[in-house]
Amino acid sequence: MVASWKEAVSFGTMTEGPRLNADLMFEDVFKEMPEHLQKQAGLDARGAQVMASMNMIQALNSAMDIMLKKDPSVVLMGEDVGYFGGVFRATEGLQRKYGEQRVIDTPIAEGGIVAAAIGMSVNGLRPVAEIQFADYIYPGFDQIASELARLRYRSAGEFHAPVTIRTPCGGGIRGGQTHSQKSGRDFYPCLRPQGGDAVESLRRQGAVESPPSRTMIR
């Protein structure tokens, strides 16, 4: 056993002589995929998944675009998310693409936005609600903590509320005391606050995922 271990270490650290070649190993094991199938599958020439390079806003926009196209029950709602495309342009172009019935501009009423999202969700829709800044999520806190988070339990499983709440937080834009708070900690007892990694979750399942409800705070 000791000799075998020493031989393995010696082979792995040698600077001369035969060495493993990753490219040759790949070619020996995997048959090359035809080019047209590579493009269709989003793969590069070696068969590796090609990941698009985009910033957070572009990724969010892409994720919501995919879900709107994939599932007709998904709707977006929030202040300025439609015609204006969102204060950070996270929803830019989506109302033009999917119409005013699926990308909905709401009044400045965070409690109403959350309450409407809950009502929509128990009636078969899957709303993705934006609170324009996390600082302003508190008017909707009671709806989130007392209604949204408890609905499945309260109804003994008869109802659930597949709601995604998306809100930006933090001091990155230097927006002063009413546009810079981080409120995620206040939701841990009742929901699942999620950061940037939730974008891929939203892209893959997010709005089509049933309870528990989620709050995305980026």
- Active-site positions read 179
Residue 152 near residue 161, CB atoms below 8 Å: yes
End-to-end CA distance of the chain: 52
Question: Could you tell me which of 167, 99, 93, 164 has the C-alpha nearest to residue 136?
Answer: 167
As beta bridge partners, residue 49 has 43
As beta bridge partners, residue 194 has 216
CA neighbours within 13 Å on the CB side: how many for 87?
14
Buried b / exposed e along 188-215 (16+ C-beta atoms within 10 A): eebbebbeeebbebbbeebbeeebebbb
Neighbours of 162 (CB within 10 A): 24
